[in-house]
């Protein structure tokens, strides 16, 4: 049980309810007990859970749920609505200053991920056409400045630093002046991690805020934080009047209850979510989608957005034409693979597809991106003619390809077989197109146990 996420737990709970035609008040209580247990195990703060359960119970028992023909669905809907409401309702954006530069202060405990998130945010905002500057104001942790500089170099975003002998408020002030001179419209200040109970360091942050007057003070919170998340959020909020929250490390298996707690305590919207180690792995936080995800209803919207951001429209169009014309070759196969790869780590992409969220648990579906490297090597070891005519690759050619790619003939065979299956699936997909339009989409990328992607 320890392994199952909040989504699975709730699903399990409601599976029991789903079988029943009608619910009694005791049934609802039983379900809510499971919801409570799940939420607490998900690290949602205890008081927040209490409040949540009371609200759900009121709605569940008070409304016509008990008389409804589909009571389980009703309960799910209520839980989902309340969950989304608790997390904030709608998505948020960065508040921009009427006269640039916009100033953002990143604050949080040690190890929450402030420096990485600062760099990710700079990257995201630049993609949206801003000219950001990063400010290294963590003068305490060894090599923190260097870390920001390295990340800035990778992104080609300038990093303002004055070494570790100047006080952080002074650094922030000087950075702001320089940003004005050099025409940056966005200044992101990476501050030092601190304990929320450390009065001196809190004072330093308050001081910095009063000097630079930031439009945004974002609290960076590790999504794995336990019950203490409320204390942290509360103290930071009382000291600094936070404007938003960034949740980090959400790509792990944490149930992310801290998200609910922090939101409930501060009232601040959760604006972004850190979803991985790469510098583009910062996503706008969508509370409604997150609620769906927590409840195991998949996250197609994010997937589609990712596909749009990363797919080269022209390439996809070309690919689609080829699929339709049944002219799908190994070259197209590789291109298709690369397009999917661009959307991000595959296990994440899979997790977003409704219904696949659960299957992900199965060991054999654990897709290692290294496998794709082998696939690429094998295809690259073929001649252009072979790639166009995979059915013509005979035994001796297979041996040569295996040698050339450093794999075995068996692996080459497997790939060719998988390719043939994919090709068949593609044909079916073309046939299914009408169904897809009707919303019966089942397996949009041909993902399956034996498929390499």
List the one residue from 53, 121, 151, 291 that touches another protein (CB under 8 A).
Answer: 151
Helix axes 287-294, 6-18, angle to 10 degrees: 60
How many Cα atoms are found within 13 Å in the side-chain-facing hemisphere of 229?
32
CB-based contacts of 54: which residues, under 8 Å, 6+ apart? none
List the one residue from 88, 101, 113, 357 that touches another protein (CB under 8 A).
Answer: 113
Phi and psi (nearest 5°) for 246?
-115, 125
Report the distance separating Cα 281 and Cα 113, nearest Å.
Answer: 13
How does strand 270-274 pair with strand 282-284?
Answer: antiparallel
Going from the C-alpha of 276 to that of each of 128, 240, 273, 348, the distances in angstroms are 20, 28, 9, 10
**Residue 290 makes contact with another protein by CB under 8 A:** no
Nearer to another protein by Cβ, of 176 and 220: the residue is 220
Nearer to another protein by Cβ, of 312 and 369: the residue is 369
CB of 185 to another protein, least distance (A): 25
Q: How far is CA 262 from the centre of its chain?
A: 18
Contact criterion met (CB below 8 Å) for 402 and 409 = yes
Q: Of 170-178, 255-263, 376-384, 402-410, which segment contacts another protein by CB under 8 A?
A: 255-263
**Residue 51 makes contact with another protein by CB under 8 A:** no
CB of 232 to another protein, least distance (A): 7
List the one residue from 30, 46, 376, 432 that touches another protein (CB under 8 A).
Answer: 46
CB of 279 to another protein, least distance (A): 10
**Residue 168 makes contact with another protein by CB under 8 A:** no
Q: Of 104-112, 287-295, 311-319, 439-447, which segment contacts another protein by CB under 8 A?
A: 104-112
Nearer to another protein by Cβ, of 119 and 382: the residue is 119
**Residue 89 makes contact with another protein by CB under 8 A:** no
List the one residue from 7, 23, 43, 60 that touches another protein (CB under 8 A).
Answer: 43
Contact criterion met (CB below 8 Å) for 229 and 255 = no
**Residue 8 makes contact with another protein by CB under 8 A:** no
Nearer to another protein by Cβ, of 155 and 426: the residue is 155
Nearer to another protein by Cβ, of 3 and 385: the residue is 3
Nearer to another protein by Cβ, of 148 and 282: the residue is 148
CB of 248 to another protein, least distance (A): 8
Nearer to another protein by Cβ, of 214 and 257: the residue is 257
List the one residue from 29, 41, 77, 280 that touches another protein (CB under 8 A).
Answer: 41
List the one residue from 20, 195, 241, 338 that touches another protein (CB under 8 A).
Answer: 195
Which two structure tokens, joined as six digits, stand for 190? 């990476």
Report the distance separating Cα 451 and Cα 439, nearest Å.
Answer: 23
**Residue 154 makes contact with another protein by CB under 8 A:** yes
Of 94, 93, 278, give the one whose Cα is nearest residue 186. 94
Count, residues in the chain = 453
CB-based contacts of 80: which residues, under 8 Å, 6+ apart? 291, 292, 295, 297
Q: Which residues in the 331-390 window bind another protein by CB under 8 A?
A: 366, 368-370
List the one residue from 19, 62, 142, 395 that touches another protein (CB under 8 A).
Answer: 142
For residue 311, give the DSSP letter.
S
CB of 326 to another protein, least distance (A): 35
For residue 133, give the DSSP letter.
E
CB of 372 to another protein, least distance (A): 11
Nearer to another protein by Cβ, of 5 and 390: the residue is 5
List the one residue from 89, 111, 183, 406 that touches another protein (CB under 8 A).
Answer: 111
Phi and psi (nearest 5°) for 94?
-70, 130
* Cis before 70? omega within 30: no
Report the distance separating Cα 199 and Cα 26, nearest Å.
Answer: 49
CB-based contacts of 438: which residues, under 8 Å, 6+ apart? none
| Binding residues with another protein: total (CB under 8 A) | 50
Which two structure tokens, joined as six digits, stand for 345? 């780590």
Q: List the x/- string, 267-286, binding to another protein by CB under 8 A.
A: ----------x---------
CB-based contacts of 177: which residues, under 8 Å, 6+ apart? none
- Kind and range of the H or E run holding 173: helix 168-182
* Binding site residues, another protein, CB under 8 A: 1-3, 37, 40-43, 46, 109-113, 141-144, 146-151, 154, 195-197, 222, 224-229, 231-232, 249, 251-255, 257-258, 277, 366, 368-370
């Amino acid at each position: 049980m320890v392994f199952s996420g909040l989504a699975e737990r709730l699903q399990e709970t409601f599976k029991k309810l789903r079988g029943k035609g009608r619910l009694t008040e005791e049934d609802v209580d039983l379900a809510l007990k499971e919801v409570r247990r799940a939420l607490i195990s998900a690290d949602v703060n205890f008081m927040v859970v209490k409040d949540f359960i009371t609200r759900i119970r009121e709605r569940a028992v008070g409304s016509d749920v008990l008389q409804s023909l589909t009571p389980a669905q009703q309960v799910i809907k209520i839980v989902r609505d309340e969950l989304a409401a608790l997390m904030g309702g709608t998505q948020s954006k960065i508040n921009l200053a009427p006269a640039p530069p916009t100033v953002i202060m990143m604050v949080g405990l040690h190890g929450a991920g402030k420096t990485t998130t600062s760099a990710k945010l700079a990257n995201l905002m630049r993609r949206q056409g801003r000219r950001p500057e990063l400010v290294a104001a963590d003068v305490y942790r060894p090599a923190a400045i260097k870390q920001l500089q390295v990340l800035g170099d990778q992104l080609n975003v300038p990093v303002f630093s004055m070494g570790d002998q100047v006080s952080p408020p002074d650094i922030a002030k000087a950075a702001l002046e320089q940003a004005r001179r050099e025409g940056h419209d966005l200044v992101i200040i990476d501050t030092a991690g601190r304990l929320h109970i450390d009065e001196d360091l809190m004072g330093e942050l308050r001081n910095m805020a009063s000097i630079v007057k930031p439009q945004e003070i974002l609290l960076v919170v590790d999504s794995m934080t336990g019950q203490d998340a409320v204390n942290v959020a509360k103290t930071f909020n009382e000291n600094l009047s936070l404007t938003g929250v960034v949740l980090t490390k959400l790509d792990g298996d944490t149930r992310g209850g801290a998200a609910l707690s922090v939101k409930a305590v501060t009232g601040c919207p959760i604006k972004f979510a850190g979803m991985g180690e790469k510098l583009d792995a910062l996503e706008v936080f969508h509370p409604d989608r997150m609620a769906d995800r927590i409840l195991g209803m998949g996250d197609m919207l994010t997937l589609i957005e990712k596909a749009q951001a990363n797919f080269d429209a022209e390439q996809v169009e070309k690919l689609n034409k080829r699929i339709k014309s049944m002219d799908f070759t190994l070259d197209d196969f590789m291109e298709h693979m690369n397009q999917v790869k661009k959307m991000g780590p595959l296990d994440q992409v899979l997790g977003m597809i409704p219904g696949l969220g659960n299957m992900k648990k199965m060991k054999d579906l654990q897709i290692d991106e290294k496998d794709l490297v082998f696939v690429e090597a094998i295809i690259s070891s073929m001649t252009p003619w072979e790639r166009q005519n995979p059915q013509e690759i005979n035994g001796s050619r297979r041996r040569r390809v295996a040698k050339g790619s450093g794999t075995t003939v068996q692996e080459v065979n497997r790939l060719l077989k998988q390719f043939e299956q994919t090709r068949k699936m593609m044909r079916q997909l073309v046939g299914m197109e009408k169904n897809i339009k009707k919303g019966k989409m089942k397996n949009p990328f041909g993902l399956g146990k034996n498929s390499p992607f």
